[in-house]
């Protein structure tokens, strides 16, 4: 990505915004630090000069010029850093104490005991300095015998602090520059990952539904997002494929009954017929139309279940009671066709879901079990409770389903070779699977040797304390 494009991105703008806030806060903190430290050091120097002046004046009042000399001597001996400078001149303009070499005559110092900043030439100082003259705080006063006293203090501490602040400012500038470079680098790295997603989605939008977002080995948040998007794309591809299959199957499976219906009607119209013949043809047409309507209703029902449109009708109910009701309905039908429907472990098992949908799904399973079980055969409907799930089994001793076809029979309009001559539209098990998925239940087909076992595991509802 080119830099002009990078500047327009949200990633770079956010990085720049946080960088400006960081620089502003750090710069403000640095300015406050410099101001406060300068004020503290200057206040300490001022207080020190005033206190020293007061001490020397007190000794002068007690013992005269000799006492002032002694006070100056003690003051300089106690000085450790060599930053304090004193000059005591008697009434005859002789230097009688201190370490300054001469009085800064050209500075115009007022002898009023007030602090002021004056220029002191380097040749007036007992130490060497970098500049020809320095601008230091000075306090001076005239003693009662005509003597003069001057005290000054080096501002090397303040200058050192200022140098430190300048260094910190340089470091801050370097940090800001480095942050800008890092922001650009991070922004480019993020945008490269986003470009991968953008390019992949563009290819998918162009029609290549098999494309997936590349997942790196870093296992970071982008990889997590890529995995979720890939899972979503898998689901979309499966849904599109399912929709395509449904469309093809609808066109294939409904063409025959529609063609048969049209042919019957056309043949009937070729020549006059008796009323009974018309009634017979119209009756067959009604049956074919009813089969078509049932097929479309089943497709609509499956679509509604897969979209979760029935969640507002969910409630807590007893699965065991539902099974008992279905057994009471299907047992007489089984006996009429010389089949035995028996139960095992039917007890109270509370579940949370849509009772009508589950009743329809179990009815489809019982219909299939009774339809494919031969006369004098048996169908078992069993319930068993486990710690985390409730298991429902529908087992028959019919011809069963080959293991290779266990997954395919859940697809819409799938009918195996042995069942094509039996009534049905191949949508019953599709509705069963959609209902199980809606209720977070698993469904599994097993060989009952002989026959087929359908096993559904419902999660137990979380109990409310």
What is the DSSP-derived secondary structure letter of residue 401?
-
| 121 to 115, 136, 425: CA distances (angstroms) | 18, 10, 112
Neighbours of 145 (CB within 10 A): 11
Instruction: Say how many residues make up the chain.
Output: 465
Q: Is residue 240 part of a domain?
A: yes
Residues 152 and 243 in one domain: no
Residue 464 belongs to a domain: no
Last residue of a domain, one of 286, 307, 328: 307
Cα separation of 321 and 325, whole Å? 6
Enumerate residues 6+ apart whose C-beta is below 8 A from 391.
Answer: 383, 384, 385, 455, 456, 457, 458
**153 and 22 part of one domain:** yes
Taking the CA of residue 348 as centre, how many other CA atoms within 13 Å lie in the half-sphere pointing to its CB?
A: 2
Give helix 10-78 / helix 156-205 axis angle, nearest 10°.
Answer: 170
State whether 15 and 113 are in the same domain. yes
3-state secondary structure of 27: helix
CA distance 149 to 89: 7
Question: Which of 43, 24, 44 has the alpha carbon at shortest distance from 32?
Answer: 24
Q: Which of 463, 437, 456, 464 is nearest to 319 (CA)?
A: 456
* Residue at 189 is within a domain: no
Say if residue 374 is in the same domain as residue 455.
yes
- For residue 179, what are the contacts with CB-CB under 8 A and spacing of at least 6? 19, 22
One domain, residues 297 and 325: no
Q: Name, in order, each residue with C-beta under 8 angstroms of 133's C-beta and a sequence gap of 6 or more.
A: 119, 120, 121, 122
Kindly state whether residues 293 and 324 are assigned to the same domain: no
Domain count, the chain: 3
Would you list the DSSP string of 402-459? -GGGTTGGGSTT---GGGTTSS--S-HHHHHHHHHHHTT-EEEEEE-SSSEEEEEEEE
- Spatial separation of the C-alpha atoms in residues 210 and 234, rounded to whole Å: 8
Query: What is the pTM for the complete model shown?
Result: 0.49
| pLDDT at residue 1 in the model | 47
Say whether both 275 and 340 belong to one domain.
Answer: no
pLDDT at position 153: 84
CB-based contact 261:223 (threshold 8 Å): no
Q: Which domain holds residue 333?
A: 311-459
For the stretch 374-420, pLDDT in tens is 888 899 999 999 988 999 999 998 888 888 888 888 877 676 655 54
End-to-end CA distance of the chain: 57
Pair (65, 52) in one structural domain: yes
Alpha carbon of residue 265 to chain centroid: 63
Structural domain contains residue 178: no
Report yes or no: 91 and 65 within 8 Å, Cβ to Cβ: no
228 φ/ψ angles, rounded to the nearest 5 degrees = -65, -40
Question: pLDDT tens, 35-56?
Answer: 888 788 788 888 888 998 899 8
Continuous segment of H or E residues that includes residue 10: helix 10-78
For 250, 259, 266, 320, the CA distances from 262, given in Å and listed in that order, are: 17, 5, 6, 47
Q: What is the DSSP letter of 184?
A: H
Cα separation of 39 and 421, whole Å? 103
Report how far residue 41's alpha carbon sits from residue 162's, in angstroms, rounded to the nearest whole number. Answer: 11
Q: Tokens for 273?
A: 């017929």
Best CA proximity match to 290, nearest among 434, 427, 425: 425
320 to each of 213, 315, 350, 382, how far by Cα in Å?
46, 15, 8, 10
Q: Using CA atoms, how far apart are residues 319 and 369, in angstroms rounded to an integer?
A: 20
Task: Among 307, 341, 359, identify where a domain stops.
Answer: 307
Looking at residue 112, the DSSP 8-state letter turns out to be: B
Asked if residue 343 and residue 245 are part of one domain, the reply reads no
Residues of the chain short of pLDDT 50, as ranges, are: 1, 420, 465
């Amino acid at each position: 990505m080119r830099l002009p494009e990078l500047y327009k991105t949200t990633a770079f703008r956010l990085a720049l915004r946080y960088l400006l806030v960081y620089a502003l806060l750090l710069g403000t903190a640095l300015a406050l630090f410099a101001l406060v430290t300068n004020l503290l050091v200057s206040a300490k120097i001022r207080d020190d000069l005033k206190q020293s002046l007061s001490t020397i004046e007190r000794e002068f009042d007690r013992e005269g010029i000799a006492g002032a000399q002694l006070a100056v001597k003690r003051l300089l001996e106690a000085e450790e850093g060599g930053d304090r400078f004193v000059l005591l001149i008697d009434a005859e303009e002789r230097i009688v104490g201190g370490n300054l070499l001469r009085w800064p005559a050209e500075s115009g110092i007022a002898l009023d005991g007030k602090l002021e900043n004056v220029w002191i030439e380097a040749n007036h100082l007992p130490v060497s300095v970098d500049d020809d003259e320095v601008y230091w705080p000075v306090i001076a006063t005239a003693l009662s015998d005509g003597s003069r006293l001057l005290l000054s203090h080096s501002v090397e501490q303040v200058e050192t602090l200022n140098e430190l602040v300048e260094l910190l400012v340089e470091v801050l500038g370097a940090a800001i520059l480095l942050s800008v470079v890092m922001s650009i680098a991070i922004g480019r790295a993020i945008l490269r990952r986003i470009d991968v997603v953008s390019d992949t989605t563009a290819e998918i939008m162009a029609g290549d539904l098999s494309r997936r977002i590349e997942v790196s080995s870093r296992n970071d948040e982008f990889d997590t997002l890529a995995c979720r998007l890939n899972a979503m794309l898998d689901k979309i591809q499966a849904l599109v494929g399912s929709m395509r299959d449904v469309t093809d199957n609808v066109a294939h499976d409904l063409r025959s009954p529609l063609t048969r219906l049209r042919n019957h009607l056309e043949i009937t119209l070729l020549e006059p017929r008796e009323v009974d013949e018309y009634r017979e043809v119209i009756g067959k047409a009604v049956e074919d139309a009813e089969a078509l309507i049932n097929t479309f209703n089943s497709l609509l029902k499956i679509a509604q279940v897969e979209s979760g449109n029935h969640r507002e009708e969910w409630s807590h109910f007893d699965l065991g009671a539902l099974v008992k009701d279905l057994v009471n309905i299907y047992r007489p039908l089984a006996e009429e066709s010389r089949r035995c429907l028996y139960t095992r472990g039917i007890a109270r098992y509370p579940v949370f879901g849509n009772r009508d949908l589950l009743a329809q799904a179990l009815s489809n399973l019982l219909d299939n079990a009774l339809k494919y079980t031969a006369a004098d055969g048996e169908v078992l409907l069993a319930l068993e409770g486990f710690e985390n799930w409730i298991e429902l089994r529908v087992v028959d001793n019919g011809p069963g389903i080959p293991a290779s076809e266990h997954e395919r029979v859940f697809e819409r309009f799938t009918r195996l070779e042995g069942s094509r001559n039996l009534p049905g539209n191949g949508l019953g098990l599709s509705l069963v699977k959609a209902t199980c998925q809606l209720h977070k239940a698993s469904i599994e087909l097993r060989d009952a040797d002989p026959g087929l076992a359908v096993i559904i595991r419902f999660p137990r509802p979380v109990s409310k304390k």
